[in-house]
Every structure is written in C-alpha cells, then in structure tokens.
Amino acid sequence: MKGVEFFYDRNQPKKKVQSYGRLAVQQRMRLAMAFLHPLRPIIAESWLTQGKGNQSKAFGQALKALMQEALEGHYPDQHIVAERVRISTGLLPALQIEDVVYDEQTLEVYFSGETAPLASGTDEVVLVVYSPEAGVAGKSTEASYRRDGHIQLKLPPPLRATRFHAYIFMHNTRKKLFSRSIYLGQLGSETPSND
C-alpha cells in the first residue's frame, strides 16, 4: 500500500523503544484504516447487520475482518491484499461474474441473473471502484438489478489515469440483506485489461 497518505503517521521521535509486536499492530491498524476510511459511506450500510444497527460498530467489524483476513507480510513490510477485503458481507446469494469490460471512461460488468429462493430478481447490484492511493472511490448511480445481468459505471476522472480496485455486491430492495462482495480485480489505465 505504498503511496497511501497517512496524515497521522508523522515521524515523531519516541522516548521509549516500542516492542516489535506493538509496532506491527500499529502498522496493521494504520493500513486497515487508510484502506477502509474512504469507503465508510458504503460500509455503514453493507456491514450494518454485523454492527447491530450501529454504523460505528459496523465499521469496526469491517476493520476487524480486514485485519484478520486481508493483511499479509511481516512488519515493516505488511500490506493489504485487496482481493480478500470484504466491503460488504451477508447471506444474500452473490452473482456469477461473466465478463468485465473496461475502457478509459466506463466499467461494465456482465453477470448471471439467475434467481433462487433467497435471490430475488429485484435485488439491486452495486458496483464500486476505488483507488486507495488516489483516495478516491465511486459507485454505480443508476439502479441495476439481478435480473438485468449487466451494470455500468462511469469512472470518476481521478481514476481514469490510475489503477483502481473494483468490487461488486448486491442488496435486497429494503437494504436489509447484503451479499458478500466480489473482487473484480485491479484495473486501470497503466495496464488495461479485461478480466
């Protein structure tokens, strides 16, 4: 996660030499916070059940999950594996991704629209793009449903010239049930790819 700005991570000389364990945990916390903080508006909704209705607790649960599952390496070279980050979680059946099409200004995702007892055709699909280095994220603004089989997102300008992560998840119409997020890959202008 090089390039992420830590406003509070100043090189202040410490009076006491801190233990390796403490420094490692502090770095894990900083990395996790820096990654998840810009996604707070999404996490406040998508982890709300895990937070028992409290948005702060929801963010805390997402942070805990990230620190447990998505951090790799040993201090001082710890880093986040974006593929394992869950920006939403829940029991709603997820999608089957068929194709991801990316060009300079838009990102399109094609998925299977099969319905099941727990998966309604009216479940809303949300596509999220995020660059922790640029500190910018965006999500789909036009409603797209499981039955549509397709979602499109216009990329925010700061993400058109940089690499970014893309996630997709869904929720029911009342936003009470969420699916586990699916990582679509790291896309971006430096190495355009169609995963």
Partner 1 sequence: MGIIKEGINGPFRGKAGSVVGSSWRKINYIKGLPSFKNKRNVSPEQLLEREKFALLNRFFDPVSSLLEIGFKQFTGRATGRNVAISHNYDHAFLVEGKTVTLNYPVLQFSHGSLFPAGDERAWVDGDRLRVSWDPETYGMGRSIDDTAVLIYYDEIRELFSADSKAMRYEGGAEIKNGRFTLRPLRSHVWLFFVNKATKKVSRTTYIPLIDESTHES
The residues of the shown chain that bind partner 1, judged by CB under 8 A, are 7, 10, 37-38, 40-42, 135-141, 154, 156-158
**What is the rounded CA–CA span in Å between residue 53 and residue 73?**
33
Contact 58, 43 (CB under 8 A): yes
C-beta of 11: minimal distance to partner 1 in Å?
A: 8
Length of the chain counted residue by residue = 195
Q: Find all residues with CB under 8 Å of 194, minimum gap 6, and list them.
A: 99, 100, 101, 102
Q: Which is nearer to partner 1, 41 or 121 (CB)?
A: 41
- Closer to partner 1 by Cβ: residue 3 or 41: 41
Least distance between partner 1 and beta carbon 34 (Å): 11
Instruction: Give least dist CB 139 to partner 1, A.
Output: 4
* CB of 84 or CB of 160, closer to partner 1: 160
Cα–Cα distances (Å) from 65 to 4, 92, 152, in that order, read 20, 18, 28
- The nearest distance, CB 169 to partner 1, in angstroms, is 13
